[in-house]
Amino acid sequence: KAGVTQTPRYLIKTRGQQVTLSCSPISGHRSVSWYQQTPGQGLQFLFEYFSETQRNKGNFPGRFSGRQFSNSRSEMNVSTLELGDSALYLCASSLVRFAGGRVYGYTFGSGTRLTVV
Amino acid sequence: KQEVTQIPAALSVPEGENLVLNCSFTDSAIYNLQWFRQDPGKGLTSLLLIQSSQREQTSGRLNASLDKSSGRSTLYIAASQPGDSATYLCAVRRGETSGSRLTFGEGTQLTVNP
């Protein structure tokens, strides 16, 4: 059974550019969450999607956005990159049978390491 | 606002030792607690998931306990091995439905010396 797949694994971007990261959840998992991990702030919640709808959003500026497609794959986008956006971005998927249904444990991907120079 | 604290921040032990990692949370109204392992530069690997109604979960050499009323969880690792070296993170989830986020601790960095 394939795990959570994140692409690309590594990215180097210049300040001011924008970037799109992709996450393919485990087959059958309809909930996808995104987290940012930095040495100073630890793991911070970005947002969660279920059935193409954003269900929750963390405390990040509007430059951070995301979406989910009908096949549950998700993308997150960061516009006007800043040096402080350098981080490991982790995607997690979870089995949720229906909107408002019970969430089971999370499975994380290997992450995308974004470096902004 | 939920806050999760892990103690110690770092731990170095000789191979074969039994050890305990601690996790505390400020809001006892949780749905579940999950322990993860993270190797350097890698993603998170789920180790154990404890529902709020449970007291403990076991998997191989790992045992996690949960005392929801006191806001504490411990991860016990028996007969530690060098391959156990990693950062261990605990995370709590408040709600049972989608839209409820995980709140993570800062982690305990474990080194097991041969």
Q: What is the pLDDT of residues B46-104, one digit of tens each?
A: 999 998 889 999 999 999 999 999 999 999 999 999 999 999 999 998 877 666 789 99
Give CA–CA dist A35/B63, Å, rounded.
26
What does the pLDDT read at residue A97?
65
Q: What is the pLDDT of residues A50-90, one digit of tens each?
A: 889 998 899 999 999 999 999 999 999 999 999 999 999 99
Give CA–CA dist B49/B35, Å, rounded.
6
What does the pLDDT read at residue A99?
61
Residues paired with residue B6 on neighbouring β-strands, in sequence order? B23
Q: Quick one: pLDDT band at residue A100, thresholds 50, 70, 90?
A: low
Sort out which chain B residues have CB atoms less than 8 A from A111's CB and list them.
42-43
Phi-psi region of B78 (alpha: psi -120 to 50; beta: other; left: phi over 0): beta
List the structure tokens of B113: 């010396």
Mean of pLDDT values over A2-8: 93
Q: What is the pLDDT of residues B18-55, one digit of tens each?
A: 999 999 999 998 988 999 999 988 899 999 999 888 99
Q: Quick one: pLDDT band at residue A98, thresholds 50, 70, 90?
A: low
Minimum distance, in Å, between the CA of residue A96 and any CA atom of chain B: 7
Give CA–CA dist B51/B49, Å, rounded.
7
For chain A, where are the E strands, in sequence order?
A: 5-7, 10-13, 19-24, 31-38, 42-50, 53-57, 64-68, 74-78, 87-94, 107-108, 112-116
Give CA–CA dist B36/A106, Å, rounded.
10
Binary contact (B98, A55; C-beta < 8 A): yes
Sort out which chain A residues have CB atoms less than 8 A from B105's CB and list them.
42
What does the pLDDT read at residue A102?
66
Q: What is the pLDDT of residues A18-42, one digit of tens each?
A: 999 999 999 989 899 999 999 888 9
Minimum distance, in Å, between the CA of residue B54 and any CA atom of chain A: 15
Mean pLDDT for chain A?
Answer: 92
In this structure, are residues A108 and A102 in contact, taking their beta carbons and an 8 Å threshold? no
Asked if B96 reaches chain A (Cβ–Cβ under 8 Å), the answer is: yes
Which of B 7-46 lie inside 8 A of A, CB atoms? 32, 34, 36, 41-46
